[in-house]
Structure 1
Amino acid sequence: MKRVLSIQSHVVHGYVGGKSAIFPLQSQGWDVDYINSVHFSNHTGYGSFVGNKLTTMDLNLILDQLINKMQIKYNAILSGYIPNSDLISCLGSYIKELKTRDPEIFYLLDPVMGDNDYLYVDKSCIEEYKKLMIEKIVNLITPNQFEVELITGIKIIDKTTLKEAISKLHKEFNIPLVVISSIKSGILNNDDSFISCILSVNNEIKYYNIPIINSYFTGVGDLFSALLLDKWFLNSNITDNLQRLSKSINQVLTIMNKTLNLTHKMGLELASKEGLNGDVKNLQGKINDGKTMKYFELKVIQSKEFFSYSDDGEFEELSLD
């Protein structure tokens, strides 16, 4: 059985972090060892929450027990939301040790730091992620556009600056496989009903345009990264890394599209059933608005049948000229 060590946020109610990632991986045959970087009542999109964060001492004790004392073998490592630089540094030192013992361990780093020009971790995390990446222990990175800009210091406004940022991730930060989970409309297309997902291997860049669903969903990036890890291993028979990554991305985007459409449909149905006032058919989840957010929690359990998708994908692969 494939085994992955996952380090992400945890919420009691809702679906972000590990709640978005663990079940999909388990449903596809992964044995998931997971560490909660935070333990919150609910995600922050509700506007209020309670809970606590993992201490560096506790993380060190847990990793030392798993890696040095129990000597557990992992096929992959997946990391997402980590709230401060000390935790990132601690994790990085153990991953470096693991990769020294077994260079075949695949590390997928989702450097969760913010979105839409809003930083929701300590600013020191930016520099710590840079240090971690330079160590040549990361195989695949899945930031969004804002996170790429934070890491590279390059504001992405067009194709040229996008290429510059991707090249910097490859060359300066030693990332073999780059996936930018979302690029705003207007950069690669002029249709504001689409965003784009980018992938690059050795600066050969492909992308997919994805239709926007008019609502705010949380946990999407966490589910995306977990599914991508699974599909990367599923497609291990493909020897060309660009083809392997492209097929994996297309499969993931297909699953995500099905999951988000189901989430949106079920959210509107629930709002209608509860007799929500107003135009229910145009209801949108809004950040920091618990009254609307509750309807659009990812339907991770209900989407179980989608996670095993293994066809080529339903999106058109495009090349960046």
Structure 2
Amino acid sequence: MQQRELTCAAIHDLSGFGKCSLTVALPVLSACGVEVSALPTAVLSTHTGGFAGYIYRDLTPELLPMAKHWESVGARFKALYSGFLGSGEQIGMVEEIFEMFREPESLILVDPVMGDGGKLYSTYTQEMADGMVRLCRRADVVAPNMTEACHILGLPYDPGPYTREGLESLLRALCGLGPRQAVLTGAWLQKGELGAACFDRETGEMRLSLRPEIPGYFHGTGDLFSSTLLGGLLNGMTLYEACDTAVEFTHRTIVTTAQSGGDTRFGPKFETHLPWLAQLMEEKRKSRK
């Protein structure tokens, strides 16, 4: 049977300035050889991390009509990928969209963009937090940071350092909600390193991927990581291969961003590393033929 094209529906917000969400997901997944259809949940003049006075347009009324139009023209997707959602109502709509386009071989990845540093974003209500738990139950893969994982599981936030046993316990609990694979970003065992941990419920294997920590806060790198992770999985990488590739690509980008000395609110400087990512994915595709 001929393999389906690599197609993905990306359900994220669109920030015009300050690279994150769709302005990261589209080029990264495209470099991975994935054809992306964008379903914006909101349009903003800038992202909300450190910018004041931004313009925000909620697209909740448009989400289902746009998805239904896609369905009417025969759109099909190998992957469904959700990120920042602006309301509890949107979360329910994304559940509907998942069911609308889910197929036996579909891959659903949920990046539960809820907060960071132990705090939920100011836009998040309890209704939304509860809804995100439901959405994660419908996913094949979830990729939260530590703040989001603890909130989803009803646990107190732990800033680290972590142990392998502690990380595996969290990952197993996330998979216990329904996903067959889980990835935790912001994992570290000792000062000076940072990366991600991943767990596959079917194999029972937990693995870590760590790199030297670069001091600072870099906006948009969570979207960078999750998009690369999905690109790797769609190209036939194992969970650990995809996770390690995402950690490496994100690390390379952070090094470049830090060295530039620019305003990190403007987003990660990933563009010069896209050829490396594209070549890696091409080699993976060739190895599978």
Q: Distance in 2 between matches of 1:156 and 1:196?
A: 18
- 1:299 aligned to 2:274? no
Cα distance, 1:297–1:133 mapped onto 2, change above 3 Å: closer
Shift of 1:117: 1.4
> What whole-Å deviation, never above 9, does each CA across 1:151-205 have from its counterpart, x for those lacking one?
001236454554433222122x11100000112x4xxx2x321224110012421
Deviation (angstroms), 1:93 = 1.2
Query: Which one-letter code corresponds to 1:147 in the other structure?
Result: E
Asked whether the 8 Å contact 1:37–1:53 carries over to 2, the reply is: no
CA drift of 1:309 comes to: 4.9
Q: 1:300 to 1:201 in 2, by over 3 A?
A: same
- The one-letter code matched in structure 2 to 1:122 is Y
- % identical equivalent positions: 20
CA contact (8 A) 1:106 1:139 kept: yes
Q: TM-score, normalised by structure 2?
A: 0.86
Matched with 1:200 is 199
Q: 1:57 deviation in Å?
A: 2.0
User: In structure 2, what is the Cα distance between the partners aligned to 1:116 and 1:48?
Assistant: 20
1:250 to 2:244 alignment:
yes
Cα distance between partner residues in 1 of 2:30 and 2:209: 27
CA shift for structure 1 position 26: 1.5
Is the contact between residue 15 and residue 300 of structure 1 (CA under 8 Å) also seen in structure 2?
Answer: no
Match among 40, 44, 47 for residue 40 of structure 1: 44
Matched residues in 1 for 2:279 and 2:35: separation?
19
* Equivalent pair of 1:259/1:306 in contact (CA under 8 Å): no
Secondary structure in 2 matching 1:138? coil
- Deviation of the 1:51 alpha carbon: 2.1
DSSP 3-state at the match of 2:12: strand
Q: Distance in 2 between matches of 1:142 and 1:81?
A: 13
The equivalent residue for 1:317 is none
User: Could you say if the C-alpha distance between residues 221 and 309 of structure 1 is closer, same or farther in structure 2, counting changes exceeding 3 Å?
Assistant: farther
What secondary structure, in the 3-state scheme, does the structure 2 residue paired with 1:108 have?
strand
Aligned pair count?
269
1:167 aligns to what? 172
Tell me what 1:287 maps to: none
- SS at structure 1 position matched to 2:105: coil
Q: Which runs of 5+ in 2 are unaligned?
A: 282-289
Alpha-carbon shift at residue 259 of structure 1 (Å): 1.4
CA spacing shift, 1:122–1:204, aligned 2, 3 Å: same
Task: Letter of the 2:249 partner, please give it.
Answer: I
Question: What is the match of residue 139 of structure 2?
Answer: 138
Q: Give the structure-1-normalised TM-score.
A: 0.78
Secondary structure of the 1:41 match is strand
Write the mapping of 1:13-162 to structure 2, written as runs, cut at 5 A. 13-67=17-71, 69-99=72-102, 102-120=103-121, 121-123=123-125, 124-134=127-137, 137-155=138-156, 157=158, 158-159=162-163, 161-162=166-167
How far residue 225 of structure 1 moved from its aligned partner, in angstroms, is 0.8
Residue aligning to 2:253: 259
Instruction: Mark the structure with the bigger radius of gyration.
Output: 1
Unaligned runs of 5+ in 1: 237-243, 272-291, 312-321
